[in-house]
Amino acid sequence: METTVPDEDVALGPMIGLRSVMATLRHRRRVWLATGFVGLIVGASLPFVIPHKYSAVTDLYLSQPAGSDPTQAVADDVSLLKTQAVAEEAISAGHLHMTPNALLSHYSGLAVSGNLMSIKFGGTSQMDAVSGARAVAQAFLTVQARELALQTNVLVRDLQSQISDVNSAISNLNHSINDLSGAAANQQSTNQLADLVNQRSADESQVSQLQDQVQQAQLSEQTADHVSHVLDPAALVPVSTKKVLLVDALSGLIVGVALGLAGLIFSSLLSERPLDRSTVAATLGAPVELSVGRYRSPRLMRRRRLSRQLREPTPSLLMIERRLRGHLESAPGSALAVVTVGAAEPAALAVGALALALSAEGHRVVVVDAADDRLLASILGLTPVAQTMETFQIRAVGGPPVRVLVAPEDPAQMAEKPPPDDADALLVLATLDAAFGAEHLAPWVTDAVMILPARGVTLTRMGVSRQMLREAGISLRSVVLLGSDPQDETSGSLGTVDYRFTPLESAEASK
């Protein structure tokens, strides 16, 4: 029986879910706790760095015109308060050193009731706040009185014009009445005279009504001008320094924590997530035997530093070397392939270090370098020139020299050459490439260990690598994962039953 990974999963790759995001937030809680602490400090220090804003409030009692809707009237007053005319009047009357647009951003109005309006002014000092609120209040009353007087004057002029027209009509009626009174009396003239007298009475009544309206308009203007006043003088809004400090500190804490969480969430969603051990094991059908940290290739004096690592392996390379030694000792004929998928350099170092260690113990070791760019040969300072497999000897301390066979560019030439029969250990370093397959490894080994990074390798590529080994009849013993997530809590094992069968073993089992 053989475990397989569905094609859909291979094509899609690892998905990032809510559980993964929550795990990232939990494991990296120091990040958002640190940003929250920084936000707390910054918020608490703002009152000492940025000048504190002071606010002053003044209340106005406004007399609304007779017959108007108080709610709509006070809403109109709030709109009038936020006009350029009021701002210019306040600057002129209060000798404020700012532009009208700047002044408008410093104050606001609030309709408290149908006759009450509150003005709030913000300034950089207590004196600026109080004087600004006082100037705006007086400017509003001045502009309101001016606008109300303008409306009243327009209304009065219209009424006076109507009165003048009616008085002219009354004068004409008086002349007509006088003419009829001096004429000979008859029934017709008597009726006409009565009609003219009645019409004059009606016009005189209209004049009286228009005069009453003029007086009412003037009285309403005077009432509004005298009744509208500052009810509560401008006074500072009491603010607790401790409360301001506490609010700013808590605001900074919340913003800092939010920024830290948002940064971690977006980095988790947008960055490439390393493959976990369980996904790698399920995709390759082989257990992840070892997970080590990310390998960092040297940049300066690269060849010299790689050669030093080869002879003085790091702790991570030593751990990889021990796993490879165990599989080499148990492999048929002590022949093992170390295949790489995107991690040629650490694999070459591990194979070279193991070969030198076995040679130092007195074993005859043969290493075949079939990796991309023949990296192991480059680290050892070898420069092959022929198009066929070349053999080099590398001296080892206290043992026979290590024979290094550099494979040609065409894998078919390697498949045609038989493996040596006088070696105690055979290590084949190869890079799996879908363009060449793995058939050229079949004459040399039957078992392999894969070394691959946790980032930069898709599940599709891993699935293809596994299929190439199966078709070549090579059993994948285990996997070494580089640069795995330190918070990976999954297991790289396949369970108690070994599901890894080569095609040959599967055919024999079916028989």
What tens digit of pLDDT does each residue of 95-123 get? 888 899 999 999 999 999 888 999 999 98
List strand residue ranges (DSSP E) for 237-362, in order. 288-292, 335-340
Separation CA 448–CA 368 (nearest Å): 14
Q: Which long-range contacts (CB under 8 A, 24 or more apart) does 144-147 make?
A: 144/62, 144/77, 144/80, 144/224, 144/228, 145/224, 145/225, 145/228, 147/80
Query: What's the chain's Rg over C-alpha atoms?
Result: 49
List strand residue ranges (DSSP E) for 25-167, in order. 54-61, 107-111, 116-123
CA atoms within 13 A on the CB side of 43: 22
What tens digit of pLDDT does each residue of 446-494 get? 999 999 988 888 888 889 999 999 999 999 999 999 888 777 778 888 7
Separation CA 153–CA 158 (nearest Å): 9
Separation CA 395–CA 104 (nearest Å): 87
8 alpha-carbon distance from chain centroid: 30
Tokens of 111: 């309709």
- Does residue 299 contact residue 491 with C-beta atoms inside 8 Å? no
- Does residue 310 contact residue 356 with C-beta atoms inside 8 Å? yes
Would you list the domain boundaries of the chain? Answer: 7-50+242-270, 54-241, 277-510
Query: What's the confidence (pLDDT) of residue 51?
Result: 66
- DSSP secondary structure letter of residue 55: E
Question: Could you give the angle at the alpha carbon of 263 between the alpha carbons of 261 and 265, nearest 5°?
Answer: 65
Which overall architecture, per CATH, does domain 277-510 show? 3-Layer(aba) Sandwich (3.40)
Q: How many Å is the maximal CA-CA distance in the chain? A: 164
List strand residue ranges (DSSP E) for 100-236, in order. 107-111, 116-123, 229-236
Query: What's the confidence (pLDDT) of residue 272?
Result: 57
Query: What's the confidence (pLDDT) of residue 150?
Result: 85
- Buried-state track 354-384, b at ≥16 Cβ within 10 A, e below 16: bbbbbbeeebbbbbbbbbeebbbbbbbeeeb
Q: Which residues of the chain have pLDDT under 70?
A: 1-20, 51, 182-187, 239-240, 268-273, 495-511
Tell me which residue of 468, 9, 485, 28 sits closest to 277, measured CA to CA: 485
Residue with structure tokens 């990976």?
488
